[in-house]
Amino acid sequence: MLVNPKEKNFNALPGNKTDRSPIIATFMPDSLEIGPDITNPLQPLSTGIETKSLKKEFGSQVIFLGRICIQYLLPNQSVTTVNKEVLRKISIFGGNGSYIIAPEQNIQDNTSEKNIIAFLKSEKSVIL
Predicted confidence (pLDDT) per residue in 54-108, tens digit: 888 888 888 888 889 999 999 999 999 999 999 999 898 887 778 888 898 899 9
What is the C-alpha to C-alpha distance for residues 102 and 86, in angstroms, rounded to an integer?
A: 9
The number of residues in the chain equals 128
What is the C-alpha to C-alpha distance for residues 30 and 12, in angstroms, rounded to an integer?
A: 18
Binned at pLDDT 50, 70 and 90, residue 127 comes out as low
Predicted confidence (pLDDT) per residue in 18-68, tens digit: 444 555 556 777 778 888 888 886 677 766 677 888 888 888 888 888 889
Q: Could you tell me the pTM of the whole model?
A: 0.74
CA distances (Å), origin 89, targets 40, 79, 108: 14, 15, 20
